[in-house]
Structure 1
Amino acid sequence: MDATTLLLFVPACFAINMAPGPNNLLSISNATRYGFRAAWMAGAGRLIAFAGMIALASAGLAVVLHTSELLFMAIKTAGAFYLFYIAWQLWRAGPGTEGAAQAGATMSQLLRQEFLVAAGNPKAILVFTAFLPQFVDPSQPMALQFTILGGLFLLFEIAAIAVYAWMGVGMRRFLGDPRGRQLFNRSCATLLGGAGLGLLLSRRA
């Protein structure tokens, strides 16, 4: 893999990582409710999901998802309804600001939530199916190239988790009023619900 390929890959990859999406929105919401540390650590759930998707793409198994309309629909539907579930939880959440213990969320639950949101979005694995291979040279060892590109993607994703969690903490300072916090929770719920609806109505390219 030459330097020119990496120079093309890095900005495009970083833009994908930093784009607003269900997981990044979830980091903001978790940071406002539980703090930066909890939101940042919970992001490990999505990293595990993305690492698995990169491994599938490297092994060529992601082609099964790319070509199977039934499997694509099943994953898409499950992911959409899980987003609806999270949106409903946020909508019903109280305006308290005491953190995870009072809210009843454990770190394992937050990790699982991040993992399922990432794994339930077929667009994510299609990114690894359609995006990463564009930067792979078939004449060179494929596994090594996927490892390098996948490692960079995960590194940028860690940065995205930190940035969005930091944004959430910044917002929390202005959400001391219970009514403001409830409005924020319901705004996040609406956006997540909209993301779920968009996912449900989307069609595979």
Structure 2
Amino acid sequence: MSTEIWIALLGTALLISLSPGASAATAMGAGLTYGVRGACWSTLGLVSGYGVQIMVVSLGLGSLIATSPELFSILKWIGVVYLIWLGIRFWRQRASGEVESLAFAPRHSRFLQALLVNITNPKGLVFLLALIPQFIDPARPQLPQLITISATLMAAEACIMTGYSGLASGLRQQFAHPMAMIWQQRLAGSALIAAGLALSVATL
């Protein structure tokens, strides 16, 4: 892959990750709840889920989903239900003790929640299916190109999601009061519910 094409890929990858959506909402919710260091497990989950999507597209399975309205719809509604369920879970944290217990959720739980957010997003699969071939040179070996594309997309996702969680983490001092903590959870929950509702109207 030439330097010019890679720079174009990097710019595209950064713009994709910057766009608002379920990943951004998850990263900001994690930053508000756990701080930037604690949110790294959520970021790792988001990046891993993104990697799974890239692998699915690279293996050719993405085209199956993109050409099957039934599969797309099933995956979409799994994602919708999961995002809204997460959002409602945040909204239902009422007592300060419940909020604190959520803030100290196990690392693996944070990772898995974020992983599922990206895995269950069929819009991402369809978008990657259209994007990745644009940066593949058919005259060259595909595997090295796919590795470069995957690494670039995932690195951009990691940087932007860390930035989102860091930005949200900077607001944590404003939520030190127990009642403010509850509204912090509701803000994060609302963002996840909004992402779920946005996904619900997605079509092929």
Shift of 1:185: 2.1
Shift of 1:177: 2.6
Across the aligned residues of Structure 1 and Structure 2, the Cα RMSD in angstroms comes to 2.0
| Alignment partners' CA distance in 1, 2:144 and 2:29 | 36
Contact 1:33-1:100 at 8 Å conserved across structures: no
Shift of 1:180: 2.6
Match of 2:146 in 1: 146
Contact 1:18-1:160 at 8 Å conserved across structures: yes
| Alignment partners' CA distance in 1, 2:101 and 2:193 | 25
Write out aligned runs for 1:1-205 (5 A). 1-94=1-94, 96=96, 101=101, 103=103, 105-204=105-204
Q: Tell me, what secondary structure is at the counterpart of 1:137? A: coil
Shift of 1:189: 1.8
Shift of 1:181: 2.6
Shift of 1:104: 5.5
| Alignment partners' CA distance in 1, 2:166 and 2:99 | 16
Q: Tell me, what secondary structure is at the counterpart of 1:43? A: helix
| Alignment partners' CA distance in 1, 2:104 and 2:163 | 25
| Alignment partners' CA distance in 1, 2:183 and 2:192 | 14
Segments of structure 1 that go 5 or more residues without pairing to the other structure are none
| Alignment partners' CA distance in 1, 2:199 and 2:10 | 27
Q: Could you tell which deviates more after superposition, 85-94 or 24-33? A: 24-33
| Alignment partners' CA distance in 1, 2:58 and 2:10 | 19
Kindly provide the amino acid, as one letter, of the partner of residue 116 in structure 2.
Answer: L
TM-score by length of 2: 0.91
Kindly provide the amino acid, as one letter, of the partner of residue 10 in structure 2.
Answer: V
Contact 2:84-2:196 at 8 Å conserved across structures: yes
Q: Tell me, what secondary structure is at the counterpart of 1:174? A: helix
| Alignment partners' CA distance in 1, 2:97 and 2:15 | 32
Shift of 1:15: 0.8
Percent identical = 25
Contact 1:83-1:196 at 8 Å conserved across structures: yes
Segments of structure 2 that go 5 or more residues without pairing to the other structure are none
Distance 1:99 1:31, change over 3 A: farther
Distance 1:131 1:154, change over 3 A: same
Contact 1:78-1:120 at 8 Å conserved across structures: yes
Q: Tell me, what secondary structure is at the counterpart of 1:71? A: helix
Shift of 1:119: 0.5
| Alignment partners' CA distance in 2, 1:108 and 1:21 | 23
Q: Could you tell which deviates more after superposition, 94-103 or 121-130? A: 94-103
1:147-198 CA deviation, whole Å, 9 max, x = no partner?
1011011111111121111112101011123333322322222222121112
Distance 1:170 1:98, change over 3 A: farther
Shift of 1:102: 6.1
Kindly provide the amino acid, as one letter, of the partner of residue 132 in structure 2.
Answer: L
The count of aligned residue pairs is: 204
